Amino acid sequence: MSVIVYSTPSCPYCTMVKNYLKGKGVPYTDYDVSRDTRRADEMVRKSGQMGVPVVDINGRVLVGFRPNDIESALKR
């Protein structure tokens, strides 16, 4: 399973996503798009969005903290 979180340090919803994944014991890779322009560009290509968090779970891209959608994507 591949889980990527695109986030910024000042984003409370990003923290909520990461805490949710940690609580579920789901390993993930976190990219700070405020410091990594290459990853920021990647995030925009995947999501069409500039806002964070963006979560990529096995290629399913979710924008924002949406626990039900995260749970659904994790089960696939």
Q: Is 63:13 a contact under the CB 8 Å cutoff?
A: no
DSSP letter at 11 equals -
Residue 1 lies in a domain: no
Residue of 76, 39, 71 whose CA lies nearest to 59: 76
Residue 66 lies in a domain: yes
54: domain CATH number?
3.40.30.10
Residue 5 lies in a domain: no
Question: Residue 58 is inside which H or E element, if any?
Answer: none
Residue 33 lies in a domain: yes
- Whether the per-residue pLDDT at 1 is higher than 90: the answer is no
Handedness of CA 14, 29, 66, 44 (dihedral sign): positive
Per-residue model confidence as pLDDT tens digits over 8-61: 999 999 999 999 999 999 999 999 999 999 999 999 999 999 999 999 999 999
Residue 26 lies in a domain: yes
Structural domains of the chain, count: 1
- Structural domain harbouring 55: 10-75
Residue 53 lies in a domain: yes
The verdict on pTM exceeding 0.75 is: yes
Residue 2 lies in a domain: no
